[in-house]
Every structure is written in structure tokens, then in C-alpha cells.
Amino acid sequence: MALIELRKPYLLFVGAAGSPLDAKTAAGVAYWRPENCRAQLRLSEKAVDLGFPDMTVKDAAAAGCTTFVMGLAPVGGKLPDSWISLCVEVLESGMDIASGLHARLAEVPAIAEAAERSGCRVFDVREPPPDLPCGTGRKRSGKRLLTVGTDCCVGKMFSALAIDAELRRRGVKSTFRATGQTGILIQGSGLAVDAVVSDFLSGAVEVLAPENEADHWDVIEGQGSLFHPAYAAVSLGLLHGAQADTLVLCHELGRTDIDGDYDDYPIPDLEEVIATNLTLARRTNRNATLAGFSVNSSNLGEAQAMAAMAELEDLHNVPVVDPVRTGVAKLVDNLK
């Protein structure tokens, strides 16, 4: 079972994005894996500067870039002809393309033909590998941490990346296991679990985070929430397939309702979220624990945020961190 494995270093495509938020995937790669980036390609001088040298495709190829990272959806959604020509030029220059777009670049005839001609590859990272197996539930060696959530978009990817970085900073063996397109482009490998056929979901996670050395951590990016009316199935497949030794609960302080167009779905009770996650996690790893909370407190002022975190800590008796505000050291101290 071959997972995506991108060649490094990257040429980051910024397009004409005016802010890091508009180019958040490229900005994420630049923030978390600057060592994998060599250059940026901006279509306008006003586009956001991610801090790498501006290069044309030709110059980037000459400078040794091997993958062109396109994490940015075009305005309006439709791929403009000029982007298609750019992709053709990239492939003809000898670089691969890694795309996080919904539209599959490999299915655009001009791009497919250029890939064929050049021998370079187009990785649509939202596309899961074929022939995934069903889950086995068999115990495997190595340690695994999974970030779970009270909702979507509460920092499950960011927290996992921060915990992985802190573990490695301490000399602990650790690998970030990406489960969504942005995480996959950051890590250069991974598997988009929400695109996997339901029957193969826990099997896909077993493939993504396989057995490893006994003292090695896989830090697995969670998705959704067991209490999300649309995406809970993805979360449970992840929970069972991960056989996690420990869970980190991600939560946005002050959020009261499930994000998006859902009527009457309050953020679930934290005790219920913890109990249900642990009950189900223990089905495939009977020793699963809660390592702590990783919160997003960006809506609160400093004093308010620290007070709210202290209150959560008292209530649930586990470390509570905000990866941006406090870092994750206190949580990582608690990992065995």
C-alpha cells in the first residue's frame, strides 16, 4: 500500500493571494516545514510574501525544486486556463505537482498529457490510494496519539503538528500523520481519510499509522467530532483505526454552537465528549487515556484565556494548553 510521498524541496504557489489566510495551505507548509521549501511563486507583487525567494518555474527547477505545491483554490472555483498552462510548464520543467484542490488536476487533459510526456507526477492529495484494506483491529507496536475534537476547525491539525514538533525537539522519535489535504501538503505524505469509502476507513488509518518502534510516537491528525451531525463517522473510523494510546481533546474556548449551517447543534458537553471518546477508543486499545486539552483561545484576552484554561484543568484534572498562547510543553510532559 503506497501512500503519497512528495519529493522535496518545494516551490510554493501563492497565486495572487493577498493575505496568509487566503494562501493558508502554502502558509502552513512555510510555517511548519520551512526546511522543505526553497522558493515561492507569486502572480502579483501585492501577493503575500511567505519569506522565500521569488522564482519562476524555470528558475525554481534550476535551483533544485522538485515539487510545485498548489494549495490555493482559484477564486470562483474554476481552474483558469493560465493555471493549467502553468501546471504544464511545471511538469515540463521536471517538477511534480502536489495539489490540495477539490478539482483533480490529474484529470485535466492538458495536465495529464504533460505528466505523461515528462514522466513527472501529479499528486491530488485529496484522492485516497486504491485498494485500501478493511480494518483488522490487531494490536501493533509503537505509540500513537490522536487529536479529537468538540467540532470541526478547532485546531486538531495545528495541535498535532505542535505536539509532534515538541516531541522531536526533545529528541523523542515522532511522526506527524496527516489525514487532510493541508496536513498532507505540510508533511509531504498522508491520507485524506474523509475521502475513503466507509468500509475501509479504520483500515486506512491502520495503513497510515502502521506498527513502529516501541518508543516511536505517531501523532495523528484528527478530523471532525464524534458529535458532529455530518462527519462523526470519519471521527470514529479514525478513533478505532488509530488504536491510540492517548487522546488530546481540541476545543475552541467560547464557541457555543457547531460551526457552519447546522441548526440547533450546541457544542456537546465536554464530559460526554471525553467519556464517549474513551469508551470507543478503548475498544481497540484498552489502555487509551486522555492526555489533556489543546484549546484555541484566540477569541479571549490573555487574562480571560488563562483563567478559562485553569478552570478546565481543575475540572478535568489534565493539562490544558493553547499551542499558540502557551505552547504544548505541559501536555507533552504528560505523555509516557
Instruction: Name the residues that contact a copy of itself, by CB under 8 A.
Output: 134-139, 193-199, 201-203, 226-227, 229-234, 236-237, 240, 261-265, 268, 272, 276, 279-280, 283-284
Nearest to a copy of itself of 221, 322 (CB atom)? 221
Indicate the residue among 188 and 190 with the shorter CB distance to a copy of itself.
Answer: 190
Least separation in angstroms between residue 247's CB and a copy of itself is 16
Query: Cα(177)–Cα(139) distance, rounded to whole angstroms?
Result: 18
Instruction: Tell me the closest approach of the beta carbon of residue 248 to a copy of itself, in angstroms.
Output: 21
Spatial distance between the Cα atoms of 271 and 209, rounded to a whole number of angstroms: 28
DSSP 8-state secondary structure symbol assigned to residue 135: P
Closest approach of a copy of itself to the CB of residue 331, in Å: 26
Rounded to the nearest whole angstrom, what is the least distance from the CB of residue 320 to a copy of itself in the complex?
Answer: 24
Shortest reach from residue 216's CB to a copy of itself, in Å: 22
> How far are the Cα atoms of 112, 227, 296, 308 from residue 302, in angstroms, in the given order?
51, 29, 12, 10
Could you give the CA distance from residue 312 to residue 127 in angstroms, rounded to a whole number? 38
Long-range (24+ apart) CB contacts under 8 A made by 56-59 are 57/11, 57/86, 57/89, 57/90, 57/93, 57/95, 58/93
- In the complex with a copy of itself, the residue whose CB is nearer, 192 or 331, is 192
CB of 178 to a copy of itself, least distance (A): 16
Identity of the residue, 91 or 258, whose beta carbon is nearer to a copy of itself in the bound complex: 258
| DSSP-derived 3-state class of residue 51 | coil
Cβ nearer to a copy of itself, comparing 35 with 264: 264
Kindly give, in sequence order, each residue whose CB lies less than 8 Å from that of residue 124, ignoring residues fewer than 6 positions away.
99, 101, 104, 105, 106
Question: What's the closest the beta carbon of residue 92 comes to a copy of itself, in angstroms?
Answer: 33
Nearer to a copy of itself, 89 or 211 (CB): 211
Closest CB 6 distance from a copy of itself, rounded Å: 23
Residue whose CB is less far from a copy of itself, 2 or 197 = 197
At a CB cut-off of 8 Å and minimum separation 6, what does 227 contact?
A: 150, 151, 268, 272, 273, 276
Distance CA 61, CA 4 (A): 21
Residue type (1 letter), 280: L
CA 123 and chain centroid, separation: 16
Closest to a copy of itself by CB, 164 vs 194, is 194
- Using DSSP's 3-state secondary structure scheme, residue 241 falls into helix
